Amino acid sequence: MGQPASPGLPRGPARVVLEASELFRFQAGDVLVGDGVEPSMAFVALLASGIVEQRGGMLIHGSIIAREYGIPCVTGVLQATSLIHPGDPVTVDGYLGIDLIS
């Protein structure tokens, strides 16, 4: 559970990004899961069906990008990179701030 930062309700496979080298495995429609979206990750964020960030807030970079481009986003999801594994089917509820792993 976290804070909704951009509305929407997408579902897709999780792509957990912990370091820059993992960005090149990202595919369109993946759900971007990470500590936070850095400016260098913007090109990948635009391909995401949704964004899940461990860091929270409406003014962090990832939530700003998400709102600008209409990508559903939930921030402040504690232990997101530990609880969500690569390939897990994830539903991002950008209305309520909930991430569901199926």
50-60 burial: b if 16+ Cβ within 10 Å, else e: bbbbbbbeeeb
Alpha carbon distance 86, 61 (integer Å): 22
Per-residue pLDDT of the chain (102 residues; tens, 9 = 90+): 899 999 999 999 999 998 888 888 899 999 999 998 888 888 888 999 999 999 988 888 889 999 999 999 999 999 999 999 999 999 999 999 887 887
DSSP readout, 49-100? SEEEESS--TTSHHHHHHHHHT--EEE--TTHHHHS-TT-EEEEETTTTEEE
Q: Which is catalytic among the residues 42, 47, 55, 61?
A: 61
**Residue the block writes with tokens 């820059």:** 20
Please state whether the predicted TM-score (pTM) of the whole model is above 0.85: yes
85 is known as an active-site residue: no
Q: Which CATH number fits domain 3-101: 3.50.50.60, 3.50.30.10, 3.30.70.260, 3.30.420.140?
A: 3.50.30.10
Residue 33: its pLDDT value, please? 95
